[in-house]
Amino acid sequence: MAEVLNSILIEGFDPEKAEYKPTSEEDNHWLEIQSAYQNNKIINGELVGFESLKINQKKEVCGIVWKGNIKGIIPLMESGIDIEDQQAINKYRALSGKEITFKVLQYDKEANMFVASRKQAREEMADITLRKIDVGYNIHCVIREVYQGHVIGDIGGIDVIIPVFELTYGWIDDLRDHYKTGDHLRVQVTEIDHENREVKVSHKPLLKNPFPDCATRYIKNGEYVGKVSGVQNYGIFVNLEEGVDSLAPHLKFQNVKKGDKVLVRIVNVDTEKEQIRTKIVRVLN
């Protein structure tokens, strides 16, 4: 019997205090959605899929998020991705399975759904970031995309492009071997353009520079064991220690590959340019 019998007389009984039935999980989700809408709050959820839906009489790709059994849709135009970009849909798909932030634009309890905007959430987050940071500040960065020579990270509603030379003192052949989407980095703010809402950051100031100390460990004409860290048309990079990679010319009669252990002879150490030139004298593999 689910109903409560209310006709019994109880001394000290207060009907207002009797509303103690547990709130359902779905009610809690609706409270979160309604509160986010009324207070213009940012909430989050996992982007679990995409559907082509009619928005303002026009079909549009929409991202799907769920709050319990309540369906949320985020149209491409509200995704925070430039819709003029030819890769916009692919970039939106790249967010699949990731936790994203958004604001609720409208909701319909009868239809059990809501419409949201990641774009508006990120704009507010960017405003907060720009108010709080300054050049020289150390902040967190979450990597969103990884390419061979650079990564794209998020510092709070603002995307930053970090080239390989701002990530390490040594040579990295392919950043995809070292970083993945979702990795966290500490970076330092190096430049802020408030007008264009652009920020430049670098990971290198938070790393120990191996120069000039390493110059004392590698003497001209000395021979040292290293590992091939990259092969380019103009030469071979050989890692001597963390953050220290020398550049050697190609061998005339033998090819080497990344990962090979070699013995190199020091040709020159330039502490100002932070460069070491070497010659491979023996392949040890």
pLDDT in tens, the chain (285 residues): 455 555 555 545 566 666 555 556 778 899 999 999 999 999 999 999 999 998 878 899 999 999 999 999 999 999 999 989 999 999 999 999 999 999 999 999 999 999 999 999 999 999 999 999 999 999 999 999 999 999 999 999 999 999 999 999 999 999 999 999 889 999 999 999 999 999 999 999 999 999 999 999 999 999 999 999 999 999 999 999 999 999 999 998 889 999 999 999 999 999 999 999 999 999 997
Note the pLDDT of residue 1: 44
Q: Is there a contact between 159 and 188 (Cβ–Cβ < 8 Å)? A: no
Domain boundary among 121, 150, 184: 121
Residue 17's pLDDT is 63
Q: With respect to residue 61, please indicate whether it lies within any of the assigned structural domains.
A: yes
CB proximity list for 162: less than 8 A, separation 6 or greater: 141, 150, 151, 152, 153, 185, 187, 201, 202, 203
Final residue before a domain boundary, out of 206, 231, 247 = 206
Report yes or no: 69 and 112 within 8 Å, Cβ to Cβ: yes
Domain range spanning residue 66? 24-121
| Cβ neighbours of 137 (radius 10 Å) | 12
Q: Is 14 within a domain?
A: no
**Up-side HSE of residue 262: CA atoms within 13 Å toward CB?**
31
Let me know whether 198 and 217 are in one domain: no
Asked whether the CA dihedral 281, 282, 283, 285 is positive or negative, the reply is negative
Q: What is the predicted pLDDT for the residue at 77?
A: 94
H/E stretch holding 139 reads strand 138-146
Whether 266 is covered by a domain: the verdict is yes
- pLDDT reported for residue 26: 75
11 is a domain residue:
no
The domain tally of the chain equals: 3
Residue 198, phi-psi category: left (phi > 0), alpha (psi -120 to 50), beta (remainder): beta
Residue 38 inside a domain? The answer is yes
Whether 5 is covered by a domain: the verdict is: no
Q: Where residue 146 sits, what CATH number does that domain have?
A: 2.40.50.140
Residue 83 · residue 76 · CB < 8 Å: yes
Query: Does 173 share its domain with 106?
Result: no
Give the count of beta carbons closer than 10 Å to the beta carbon of residue 278: 28
pLDDT at 29: 93
Q: Let me know if 86 is exposed, middle or buried by CB neighbors in 10 A (0-12, 13-18, 19+).
A: exposed
- Per-residue tokens: 213: 């100390």
Query: Is residue 53 in a domain?
Result: yes
**Closest C-alpha to 31, from 75, 70, 81, 83:** 70
